[in-house]
Amino acid sequence: MSGVHPPDEPTLLQLRERFRSREDTPLAAVERALDRMDAHDGTIHAFLAVDRDRALAEAETATKAWRAAGPRPALLGLPISVKDTIEVAGMPTTYGSAVFRHNRRPDSVIAERLRRHGAIIIGKTNTSEFALCTDVRNRLTGPGRNPLDTARSCGGSSGGAAASVAAGMSAAAVGTDSAGSIRIPAAYQGLVGFKPSFRRVPWVQDWNAAPTRSHPGPITRDARDAWELTKALGGADWRDPASALAPLADEEFESALRRGTDGLRVAFIADTSAPTSAGASAEVSASEEAALARDLTDFLRDVFGALDRLRWDRLVPPPTTARVWPYAAEHVAAALRLSPDFFDAVEELTDYARPIYEAGRTQSAAEYLRATGEERERGLALRHALAAYDYAFSVVAPEPPRVTETYSPLQFPRLALLNLAGLPAVSVPFGAYRSGMPRAMQIFGRFGDDAGVLAMAEKLTRSL
């Protein structure tokens, strides 16, 4: 494997402690991140935009603030990247599309909260066009590559966000997840990827192509970092009526960490079908997938004792066949809101995005309401089925990331079910495949129990 990931990179909280002890400074941290971009981003294509001057200026200000006495915001001086579907003032927001290469927007609520807590938004990370693909390919830059092995995919659609962390170009990242888009690239790159409860983090910005499914969340080196970033981003905003959850408090996380495993009811949910794609991978083998499931269930039994085994296909009714992807019209509406002449530039869309937008243009209101209503019912069925369990577990990806040149994007329908249900879910590293690439397990819990899910992730990773 040929990789560009730096060894022994500090976590977000470790870096903050180095600032506090004066072993390091925000200015030095930002300079290191920019140096790594110069050295390696021409290969991995993690970023679509970087505001060097502003990042360095803010780092100088933060360095002075750390030297001064007095209270400091929680993320002061920490370099954090933001997926390019999230609007940030001062840099283009393309949503991974050449159609919007010159698009400028004011700060989203996510950018507002990062800045309020002192973070330095170092750049906008690469994504598939309109976050529609589990790989990172668009017409703006080269394909996203995995810093652990640059011949392989970084996953998607928040692949650039994860790659920026894995390559040491940011201390943490914020991505979005409407069907696994945080959890997949985190799994592929040995990171923690957290999809909070639906609208734990509000979505307030001009572009909104997944209003009922998208969960903004962190990609970090460990679960404590994910908690810290979710805490900073979380809390209701009047501009997003779905964001009704209260701000998070550290005592929730610490209390969940102290809680033992006795009396917890837990389940492992097995899949009966591998992710699907148009192509086959020689590295995928039934024995390797079975080994991952077996290792995970053995580990969970050692931790919890009793473990129920469930199956996805028995928990949730199958989707009905629809002429058009149920959410195509939402994407069309979001694009037209930004640009009424959007379809004049349809030739600039990628081969995977254009059919979705062309179909969404013809989707009737009746088709949309029927299909999305059925999807919502599937999500409610899953939430109801899992209500009896404190936590549930599953595989994230049953195979390693594929080689970029021969990659045919996979679909992960089981991951998307948790978006329909709105439940908190986190991907955490769990050993390695025979190739040496990381494996991952998924932990999920009841709606609103973000602290419990991340505390469980922290406890289990200590046990590995």
* Neighbour-count burial of 16, counting CB atoms closer than 10 A to its CB (0-12 exposed, 13-18 middle, 19+ buried): buried
Confidence of residue 283 (pLDDT cuts 50, 70, 90): very low
What is the reported pLDDT for 304? 97
Q: DSSP H helical segments within 117-222, as ranges?
A: 159-166, 183-188
- For residue 143, pLDDT over 80 is answered with yes
- Residue of 193, 194, 192, 203 lying closest to 235 (CA atoms): 203
What is the reported pLDDT for 2? 77
* Neighbour-count burial of 22, counting CB atoms closer than 10 A to its CB (0-12 exposed, 13-18 middle, 19+ buried): exposed
d(CA 382, CA 384): 5
d(CA 360, CA 330): 8
Which CA distances in Å does 187 have to 35, 227, 232, 282, 304? Answer: 26, 18, 23, 20, 23
Confidence of residue 272 (pLDDT cuts 50, 70, 90): low
End-to-end Cα distance, the chain = 24
* Parallel/antiparallel/unpaired status of strands 149-153 and 145-146: antiparallel
157 is catalytic: yes
Mean pLDDT of the chain: 94
The continuous run of DSSP H or E covering 50 comes out as strand 47-50
The continuous run of DSSP H or E covering 414 comes out as helix 413-421
24 close to 18: Cβ distance less than 8 angstroms: yes
- Residue of 375, 330, 378 lying closest to 357 (CA atoms): 330
Q: What is the 3-state secondary structure (H, E, C) of 264-278?
A: CCEEEEECCCCCECC
- For residue 264, pLDDT over 90 is answered with yes
pLDDT, greater one: 294 or 404: 294
Confidence of residue 282 (pLDDT cuts 50, 70, 90): very low
Residue type, 147: P
> Quick one: how far is CA 159 from the chain centroid?
8
What is the reported pLDDT for 279? 45
Catalytic residue among 83, 124, 195, 231: 83
Confidence of residue 108 (pLDDT cuts 50, 70, 90): very high
- For residue 1, pLDDT over 70 is answered with no
Contacts of 241 (CB under 8 A, 6+ apart): none
Catalytic residue among 81, 153, 157, 197: 157
d(CA 154, CA 47): 13
Domains delineated in the chain: 12-252 (3.90.1300.10)
83 is catalytic: yes
Q: What is the DSSP letter of 72?
A: -
* Parallel/antiparallel/unpaired status of strands 215-220 and 192-195: antiparallel
d(CA 357, CA 189): 31
- For residue 276, pLDDT over 50 is answered with no
367 close to 322: Cβ distance less than 8 angstroms: yes
Structure tokens at 391: 């936590």
What is the average pLDDT across 165-186? 98
Contacts of 8 (CB under 8 A, 6+ apart): none
181 is catalytic: yes
pLDDT, tens digit (0-9, with 9 covering 90-100), for 390-445: 999 999 998 899 886 655 567 788 999 999 999 999 999 999 999 999 999 999 99
What b/e string do you get for 368-385 counting C-beta neighbours within 10 Å, with b at 16 or more? beebbeebeebbebbbeb
DSSP 326-387: TTHHHHHHHHHHH-TTGGGGGGGS-TTHHHHHHHHHH--HHHHHHHHHHHHHHHHHHHHHHT
What is the average pLDDT across 211-239? 98
What is the reported pLDDT for 322? 79
- For residue 259, pLDDT over 90 is answered with yes
pTM: 0.96
What is the reported pLDDT for 8? 84
Confidence of residue 223 (pLDDT cuts 50, 70, 90): very high
pLDDT, tens digit (0-9, with 9 covering 90-100), for 30-57: 999 999 999 999 999 999 999 999 999 9
What is the average pLDDT across 290-316? 95
Catalytic residue among 81, 158, 181, 243: 181
pLDDT, tens digit (0-9, with 9 covering 90-100), for 58-88: 999 999 999 999 999 999 999 999 999 999 9
